[in-house]
Structure 1
Amino acid sequence: MITPRWTTLLMDDAGLRDMPELPPEAVFTHAEDVAASRPGPVELYRRWERQQWSAADVELGPDAEELATLPAPVRRAVLESITTFIVGEYTGLDILGPILVGSPDEEYSVFLGTQIADETRHTHLMLRLGEEVAGYDPDPHRMLAQAWRSAGPAHQDLALLEGQLVRELLERPRDYGRWLRAVVLFHFITEGILALVGQRALVRTLRRVDALPGIRTAYTAMCRDESRHVGFGTHALRVGMLEGHQDDIYEVLERAVPIAMEFDGRGERASAPFRAMCTDLVRKHLSSIGGDPVFADHLVTHAGSARVG
């Protein structure tokens, strides 16, 4: 059995060619393993320098041909995931700009610059997947419009909350509480729950049917990048908790966790496995930032009874 330490190293050191064959535990626990080591922004920056990869180097041609031969549920899962991440990766750039501008610390700002580079790389990769695999219009503006029309109610609710928090931060970019609220939404919810669950779910599906190595590579590489982003978010929010901003952090979680729990549902109630993965990550991330376990119980209970839309 591989220990968590060696699992982390496998993921840390993998090149693009290695990623389709990494053991599942190397992918599925990496973000939590990184966060557990409590890296600061300087160490996360160093990780970024070591873990570079190119979106242009991911080979997608054979995947586009193989996709048509897969069972309908697998094809549907792949196409829905691509649609979700086209929207998610592009809109991530919208919120990261204000977060960088409002950064309260020089070391934070240096790391956040790397995250903007990551989100740009992910966006380019998802635009490639949209055109080369999903058959979307190659024009990015039209592709985003196509993808957005396919989004479910939870996407729309999250976009409304994101818009509110970004507007508040832009109005007062040096307001630390508002900055932390934006970090909760993006690093804890969007990156730490939705991105990780979505990437891991698709990698698990494609490993099970042993298909689409290019897409497995793409999603595994993005998942490793998310580990750095989540590590930064847990660090920043842990500091924010220690500095007395628990209410700002908890208030956004109260609003955002029920939305996150519905992302798998396309207007229907999200699947039990999806909600279980979200619940597990909510508890782990909240523990990492020094949150109250009683509040974690409240969050997941509230999310279980709430409905979006």
Structure 2
Amino acid sequence: MNRWSTLLVDEARLGDLAALPSSDVLRHADLVAGRKPKPVELYQRWERQQWSAEDISLGMDHEMLADPRVPQGVRTMIENAIATFIIGEYTGLDMLGPILTGSPDEEYSLFLGTQIADETRHTRAVFRLGEEVMGMSENPRAMLTEAWNLSTPAHAELSMLESDIVRGLHERPMNYGQWLQAVTLFHLITEGVLALVGQRVLVHALRDIDLFNGIKTAFTAMCRDESRHVGFGLHALRTGVNEGYGDQINEVLEKAVPLALRLDNEFEGIAVDFREMSVNILRKHLSLIGTDPKFIDHLLREYSADAAPAR
């Protein structure tokens, strides 16, 4: 197995995910996306990578989170990440419904059906993390309210943008340009940047800590699933760009990219530059779908490490 293989992460069983090398987990989605898999290949990967949210053991994680020996920074990072994913996974179900309904291709629909199953499993997993690890309400509606109370203004603005996109897709379900805009926001920004970076934050921060194995297992399993979701989104958007819909895709990127990169502030204090990680992911993904390099530079100039200082 050469160093570019995804086999270690691809074939791991649920009980082995917490022990995977963090370096393999962190690069997995990039390697999968770089292969430009087609929807049917992503469906086949889904068949092989099933797991159960009910099989994750979380009892010890609750005790560890309450242990005063755990640094406050680690505790805060875990709590923020769980609250963020409670919101993100549940609201993802709202977006995927109209994306599936408006799907322009039969193979797309086949894959999107698997993604709805994934998002349902992820939602159940993070609801369990909220209730059993953080001690939040067992009522999902009350838990969502608690999670929103921990969120940032950028989350609220992104949610409003999602509502606008979903409403437009509901009104024009067979409008291909509108459908591509929804895929841009959900698969490229929400899944391809926010979810992927959030999962990597946790995996990286806990990599040398022989604790929180339930949390590690849940987030690593979701991270592996995300590689399929992102791979699909990049395929659909690459096809859309080739068919002349780049302007509609770029319109959403103009609004969503600044919001996505503002959310990195939640992870301050962790010894990784996650802003740089987000920018690098965006640059790779935008290049893979065929976005004009000048537009990519325009979007990311303010956030790039080599950008000229503002005058």
Partner residue of 1:36? 34
Report the CA distance between 1:262 and its aligned residue: 0.9
2:61 to 60, 63, 66: 63
What are structure 2's unaligned runs of at least 5 residues? none
Distance 2:229 2:148 in 1: 24
Distance 1:2 1:239 in 2: 30
Q: Tell whether the 8 Å contact from 1:181 to 1:248 is kept in structure 2 after alignment.
A: yes
Partner residue of 2:8? 10
Q: Tell whether the 8 Å contact from 2:137 to 2:143 is kept in structure 1 after alignment.
A: yes
Partner residue of 1:124? 124
Deviates more, 1:227-236 or 1:283-292: 283-292
Partner residue of 2:234? 234
CA-based RMSD of the aligned residues comes to: 1.9
Q: Indicate the SS of the match to 2:301.
A: helix
Q: Which whole-Å deviations, capped at 9, do the CAs of 1:136-191 have from their partners, x for residues lacking one? A: 01100100011111110010010010011111111000000000000000000000
- Scaled by the length of structure 2, the TM-score of the pair is 0.94
Distance 1:227 1:102 in 2: 22
Distance 1:193 1:271, change over 3 A: farther
Q: Tell whether the 8 Å contact from 1:83 to 1:150 is kept in structure 2 after alignment.
A: yes
Letter in 2 for 1:85: F
Q: Tell whether the 8 Å contact from 1:197 to 1:277 is kept in structure 2 after alignment.
A: yes
Matched, 1:290 2:290: yes
Letter in 2 for 1:155: H
1:21 to 19, 24, 33: 19
Deviates more, 1:236-245 or 1:17-26: 17-26
Distance 1:297 1:211 in 2: 41
Distance 2:108 2:286 in 1: 20
Distance 1:251 1:202, change over 3 A: same
Q: Tell whether the 8 Å contact from 1:153 to 1:266 is kept in structure 2 after alignment.
A: no
Q: Tell whether the 8 Å contact from 1:258 to 1:303 is kept in structure 2 after alignment.
A: no
Where does 1:130-141 land on structure 2 (aligned, <5 Å)? 130-141=130-141
Letter in 1 for 2:275: R
Partner residue of 1:258? 258
Partner residue of 2:190? 190
Q: Indicate the SS of the match to 2:167.
A: helix
Partner residue of 2:176? 176
Letter in 1 for 2:274: F
Letter in 2 for 1:236: A
Distance 2:162 2:115 in 1: 18
Partner residue of 2:52? 54
Q: Tell whether the 8 Å contact from 2:267 to 2:274 is kept in structure 1 after alignment.
A: no
Distance 2:77 2:2 in 1: 29
Q: Indicate the SS of the match to 1:128.
A: helix
Q: Which whole-Å deviations, capped at 9, do the CAs of 1:37-76 have from their partners, x for residues lacking one? A: 1111111111101000000001111111112221110000
Distance 1:36 1:150 in 2: 35
Q: Indicate the SS of the match to 1:208.
A: coil
Report the CA distance between 1:294 and its aligned residue: 2.0
Distance 1:290 1:252, change over 3 A: same
Distance 1:20 1:149 in 2: 29
Distance 1:251 1:2 in 2: 40
Partner residue of 2:76? 76
Distance 1:211 1:41 in 2: 36
Q: Indicate the SS of the match to 2:135.
A: coil
Letter in 2 for 1:81: A
Q: Tell whether the 8 Å contact from 1:151 to 1:266 is kept in structure 2 after alignment.
A: no
What are structure 1's unaligned runs of at least 5 residues? none
Q: How many residues align?
A: 303
Q: Tell whether the 8 Å contact from 1:104 to 1:174 is kept in structure 2 after alignment.
A: yes
Deviates more, 1:222-231 or 1:17-26: 17-26
Report the CA distance between 1:274 and its aligned residue: 2.0
Q: Which whole-Å deviations, capped at 9, do the CAs of 1:78-109 have from their partners, x for residues lacking one? A: 00100000000000000000000000001100
Distance 1:294 1:99 in 2: 29
Distance 1:30 1:90 in 2: 24
Partner residue of 1:210? 210
Q: Tell whether the 8 Å contact from 1:180 to 1:237 is kept in structure 2 after alignment.
A: yes
Distance 1:128 1:246 in 2: 40
Distance 1:267 1:45, change over 3 A: closer
Distance 1:218 1:288 in 2: 28
